Amino acid sequence: MKLIGSYTSPFVRKISVLLLEKGIPFEFVNELPYNLENGVAQYNPLGKVPALMTDDGECWFDSPIIAEYIELLNVEPQMLPQEPLARLKVRQLEALADGIMDAGLVAVRELARPAAQQSEAECLRQREKISRSLDVLEAHLKEGAINTDTLNLATIAIACAISYLNFRHIAPGWCVERPNLVKLVETLFQRESFARTEPPKA
């Protein structure tokens, strides 16, 4: 099994952590999706990471789809509930975390443009998306809808999203008045799967 992606992508990290937690062997193929010669496109016509090539030669792309495929392998521990509504709720929280990652990526790309071409309005819009989403996640934790010691697809995605905010120095004050989120990610960051997938220092 091959995981195609970038070491700095939070979406790729989500899948890496999932595979490591389940003990599924895989080869990591480092491909940068923004290169002019985009090697990712041979696996995903959209040229986006991650992509997963199975031992049978089947290719899956888009991190929620890859995560679903990995769950279908029935390798413990299960990261999604079997009950349909409970499963859907976890998938929605995953989608919210993925949205934080998306907003972070847009903000990073915007700030990478020449200063004269940057849009402060666009950066503000992305920061507001991130802030609102973090507030919702904090509320879920406070209400007990998510437990700070829970390991599932949603909490993995949340930790990967917040790690990306830290890595790219986006929303540096995210932890203020969000103690439950802080506890959740501090717990998960101690796991070997997160230690092994920490993005390289710039």
Domain hosting residue 65, numbered range: 2-72
Domain contains 79: no
How far is residue 40's CA from residue 34's CA, in Å, rounded to a whole number?
Answer: 9
Provide the residue-wise pLDDT of the chain in tens; the chain has 202 residues: 999 999 999 999 999 999 999 999 999 999 877 765 768 888 998 989 999 999 999 999 999 999 999 999 999 999 999 999 999 999 999 999 999 999 999 999 998 899 889 899 999 999 999 999 999 999 999 999 898 889 999 999 999 999 999 999 999 899 999 999 999 999 999 999 999 999 987 5
Residue 22 shares a structural domain with residue 116: no
Distance of CA 101 to the CA centre of its chain: 6
CATH of residue 12's domain is: 3.40.30.10
Question: Looking at the domain assignment, is residue 201 inside a domain?
Answer: no
Q: What is the pLDDT of residues 96-109, one digit of tens each?
A: 999 999 999 999 99
Side chain identity at residue 179, one-letter code: P
Whether residue 77 lies inside any domain: the answer is no
In this structure, the answer to whether residues 63 and 100 fall within a common structural domain is no
Assess whether 47 and 98 both reside in one domain: no
- Complete edge-to-edge strand list for the sheet that includes strand 2-5: 27-30, 2-5, 51-53, 59-61
**Could you tell me if residue 100 is inside a domain?**
yes
Region of residue 101 (left: phi > 0; alpha: psi -120 to 50; beta: else): alpha
Asked whether residue 44 falls in the same domain as residue 137, the answer is no
Domain tally, the chain: 2
Entry pTM: 0.95
Give the integer Cα–Cα distance in Å for 157 and 43. Answer: 23
| CA distance between the termini of the chain | 28
| 17-21-27 Cα angle (round to 5) | 60
Question: What phi, psi does 53 have (nearest 5°)?
Answer: -100, 120
Whether 78 is covered by a domain: the verdict is: no
Q: SS3 letters for 5-38?
A: ECCCCHHHHHHHHHHHHHCCCCEEEECCCCCCCC
The last residue of a domain, from among 37, 72, 107: 72
End of a domain among 72, 103, 133?
72
CATH number at residue 91: 1.20.1050.10
Please answer whether residues 61 and 50 qualify as being in contact, where contact means their C-beta atoms are separated by less than 8 angstroms: yes
Helix 179-189 to helix 120-143 angle, to the nearest 10 degrees? 90
- Please state, in angstroms and rounded to a whole number, the distance separating the CA atoms of residues 95 and 163: 16
The verdict on residue 202 lying in a domain is no
